[in-house]
Amino acid sequence: DAKTTQPPSMDCAEGRAANLPCNHSTISGNEYVYWYRQIHSQGPQYIIHGLKNNETNEMASLIITEDRKSSTLILPHATLRDTAVYYCIVMGNAGGTSYGKLTFGQGTILTVHP
Amino acid sequence: GAVVSQHPSWVICKSGTSVKIECRSLDFQATTMFWYRQFPKQSLMLMATSNEGSKATYEQGVEKDKFLINHASLTLSTLTVTSAHPEDSSFYICSARIVPGLAGIANTGELFFGEGSRLTVL
């Protein structure tokens, strides 16, 4: 699976949008971009995933560049409860033999402050 | 939505004892589950892939005789830390891969993680 790079930490004011970048320049054509987050001492929580089109759900939006070498996770209105470590992961989709074997990088520590 | 449950959520044991951690998929079948370990201030590291009805596949550097994995049913995988030592103290997390095409649950591609089990070996 392709390696990803993320900034180690970011700050965001409560109520503002949090934009978390991720570089995945070696992503292959059949690999998806997944985002998870981990709140302290809990298991990772799925946020969103996408292949090449921008995606939006009730939690966040995912913007993937046209060349698919980078993406941005957007939390439109960050709250204090969004403080967590955010992981960007690249992986083949369901059906592949390696599906589910996630390689976690160091992620981005997002701190939302009042 | 699909839920993966781990038990116990935390455990303290004496050095030399064995500890079993359970990972259950509560409302779906999981032919494959994954076990991760996370040390303080570090990221999750994959330990092994647990396959229902067959032997687990271990990542390089993970001792299969120390971390015994059993996946006897489609809803349960267990990780047993044998002869635990203080350096085995860690946060152990499992995830489950849903059976593709399973009716009743939207397979949107996400994997489901348990809440984690914190092991402290004295």
How confident is residue B112, by pLDDT bands cut at 50, 70 and 90?
A: confident
C-alpha to C-alpha distance for A9 and B103, rounded to whole angstroms: 40
Percent pLDDT > 70 in chain B is 89
Per-residue model confidence as pLDDT tens digits over B14-38: 999 999 999 999 888 888 899 999 9
Q: Please say whether the beta carbons of A79 and A67 come within 8 A.
A: no
Q: Which of A61, A57, A70, A59 is nearest to A3 (CA)?
A: A70
* Cα–Cα distance for residue pair B46/B36, rounded to 1 Å: 4
Q: Is the CB of A49 inside 8 Å of chain B's CB atoms?
A: yes
In tens, the pLDDT along B51-86 reads 888 889 999 999 999 999 999 888 999 999 999 999
The predicted pLDDT at position A93 comes to: 66
Instruction: Tell me the CA distances in angstroms from B60 to A4, A94, B75, one per residue in order.
Output: 21, 24, 26
CA distance A68 to chain B (A): 19
Which residues is B33 bridged to in the sheet? B50, B96
Per CB-CB distance under 8 Å, the chain B contacts of A43 are 4, 6, 93, 95, 113-116
Residues on chain B bordering chain A, Cβ-to-Cβ distance under 8 angstroms: 4, 6, 32, 34, 36, 43-46, 49, 91, 93, 95, 97-98, 100, 107-116, 118
Contacts of A90 (CB under 8 A, 6+ apart): A1, A2, A3, A4, A24, A27, A31, A32, A33, A34
Look at B46 and A96; give whichever has higher pLDDT: B46
Tokens of B51: 């396959």
Two tokens at A57?
């759900």
What's the pLDDT band for B109 if we cut at 50, 70, 90? low
What residues of B are in contact with residue A41 (Cβ under 8 Å)?
91, 116, 118
